[in-house]
Amino acid sequence: MSQLYVLRSEEIAARMMAGEMMIMSPRDSTLFSLNKVGTVIWNAADGQMPLDEIVQQKVCARFEIDLTEAFKDAESFVRELAEHGLLALSDQPIEAAQQSVQANAADEALR
Amino acid sequence: MKSGMLPVSVASELAIVIGGVRILVRTDSAELARLLAERYGSFATLTSHPEEKAARPGEWSAFELDIELTAPPARVDPDEGVRVNHKSGRWVMERGDFQAEWDPERRRGWVRQAANPYSLDTVLRIIHTLILAREGGFLVHAASAVRNGRAFLFAGVSGAGKTTISRLAPSGVLLLTDEISYVRRTATGYEAFGTPFAGELARVGENIRAPLSVLYLLTQGTPNRIEEVNEVDAARAVLESVLFFAQDAELVKRVFQSALDFVNTVPVKRFVFKADASAWEMVG
């Protein structure tokens, strides 16, 4: 199985509010409020740590969640955010400067 | 031929001041100027003297808008949305009944439209949302009113009760609008301004301003009661109510930040109200 790297978009509006991360898509103005697990994944989405490590080290270490189930949910979660332009996805580590290129490539891959 | 006999096109100019923002609207049509003066009531002044063009203390310096009249469109789709795009520093706006451009840096723009007050009304709403977005304010789908020197907003989708709560306002309550509220950020909080943007009440608001006290999310029901709303739901509700025309990433970010700053500053509560005079006993 290839690795999945995730990187937060720098162009989007996001803010913590009452313990939840609120994010708005610049593409379609959809508003997301992430729960605690989603917020952990969001904060760890630096383009360098693969998603399975994020789930194992950041999510399962803090929440009592089955690893396989957590990874499945996390993958579905990041793909949804990527569809709204909030995250870039790649099978290679992503540098912040590459973000827009990768995001476009991810867009194409999602179509 | 004497020069005095030459046909002269006399431009009419109105200053339309909403939310302390003075927009000078010029047209060659005296008839349209009359229609606009009637439409905007106390918010509009025919600028026959140069001093009426200048911003007053507390206002921003004036913006200018030229109207070029065109023939009425053959067909207007009532459901057609307005398209707003940012191109080379200018905002380009269009709908079946008008085309317009707005250059915020040069503080001027133009509108091509037929001789009706409705097209300009849409353009003005868009321009005000763009101006407000720069300074943390917004236009919001909400009725608003001033009671005892404090402003209250009543937000809700169509049918939630904005016009109903406005109609029920007792004497002593000054109605700012029954449809589109104008919110500006100040050094210490937020102010609500009266607007000429009316809903079913078809009445321009009082041309006054007051510090904003509470934003109520309207729901009709019984008994009358005020319920707490958590910050996340409040932010979601405010964002859903803010007028938003352009899908521009920078603008989305600004409106998002403005709405969350607002929720951090102004109490947002749910107001369940019965559609009779008793509802206003809960306000204030």
pLDDT in tens, B107-134: 999 999 999 999 999 999 999 999 999 8
pLDDT for residue A53: 96
User: Can you give the CATH number for the domain in which A11 is found?
Assistant: 3.90.930.60
Provide the pLDDT for residue B37.
94
pLDDT band at residue A102, thresholds of 50, 70 and 90?
very low
Residue in B closest to A22 by C-alpha: B232
Residue type (1 letter), B57: P
Judged against a pLDDT cut of 50, whether residue B2 lies above it is answered with no
Query: Which positions in chain A touch B230 (Cβ < 8 Å)?
Result: 18
Cis ω on the peptide bond leading into residue B223 (within 30° of 0)? Answer: yes
Q: In this complex, do B235 and A26 lie within 8 Å of one another by their Cβ atoms?
A: no
pLDDT digits (tens, 9 = 90+) for B215-233: 999 999 999 999 999 999 9
Residue A101 has pLDDT above 60, yes or no: no
Q: What is the average per-residue pLDDT within A1-8? A: 88
Confidence of residue A111 (pLDDT cuts 50, 70, 90): very low
Q: Tell me what percent of the residues of chain B surpass a pLDDT of 70.
A: 93
The answer to whether residue B19 scores a pLDDT higher than 70 is yes
Residue B256 contacts A, CB cutoff 8 Å: yes
Q: What CATH number does residue B163 fall under?
A: 3.40.50
On chain A, the residues whose CB falls within 8 A of the CB of B247 are 26-29
Whether residues B155 and B76 fall in one domain: no
**Which residues in A lie closer than 8 A to residue B261 (C-beta atoms)?**
none
Inter-CA distances, B235 with A20, A101, B67, B99, B265, Å:
12, 32, 37, 33, 11
Q: Which of B240, B244, B260 sits opposite A17 (nearest CB)?
A: B260
A33 contacts in chain B (CB < 8 Å): 232, 236
pLDDT-derived band of residue A27, with 50, 70 and 90 as boundaries? confident
Instruction: Please check whether residues B73 and B149 belong to one and the same domain.
Output: no
Do both B164 and B205 map to the same domain? yes
3-state DSSP assignment of residue A43: helix
What is the predicted pLDDT for the residue at B222?
A: 95
In this structure, the answer to whether residues B190 and B268 fall within a common structural domain is: yes
Q: Are B92 and B180 part of one and the same domain?
A: no
Helices (H), A1-111: 36-44, 51-53, 67-83, 99-110
Q: Which domain holds residue A79?
A: 5-110
pLDDT band (50, 70, 90) for residue B81: confident
Q: Tell me how close the Cα of A58 comes to any Cα of chain B, in angstroms.
A: 24
Number of domain units in chain B: 2
Which of A8, A10, A15 is the best mutation test for B, with the most CBs of B within 10 A?
A15
What does pLDDT average to over chain B?
A: 91
Q: What's residue B27's pLDDT? A: 95
The residue from B81, B108, B133 where one domain ends is B133
With a cut of 60, say whether residue A100 has pLDDT above it.
no
What's the mean per-residue pLDDT of chain A? 85
Residues of A in contact with B256 (CB under 8 A): 13, 15, 22, 24
- Using CA of residue B165, residue B167, residue B171, residue B175, what is the dihedral sign? positive
The average pLDDT across B270-284 equals 95
Any chain A CB within 8 A of the CB of B265?
no
Integer Rg of chain B from CA: 20
The CA–CA distances, whole Å, from A106 to A9, A28, A83, B95, B204 equal 12, 17, 8, 33, 49
For the record, the structure tokens of B92 come out as 């380009």
* Residue B5 pLDDT level (bands cut at 50, 70, 90): very low
Q: How many domains does chain A have?
A: 1
Residue B157: pLDDT band by 50, 70, 90 thresholds? confident
Q: How far apart are CA B110 and CA A22, in angstroms?
A: 37
- The domain containing residue B96 runs over which residues? 10-133
Q: In this structure, is residue B44 part of a structural domain?
A: yes
**B179 in any annotated domain:** yes
What are B106's two structure tokens? 């040069």
With 70 as the cut, is the pLDDT of residue B252 above it? yes
Judged against a pLDDT cut of 80, whether residue B76 lies above it is answered with no
Q: Average pLDDT of B257-280?
A: 96
Same domain, B38 and B19: yes
Question: Which helix (H) or strand (E) covers residue B143, if one does?
Answer: strand B138-147
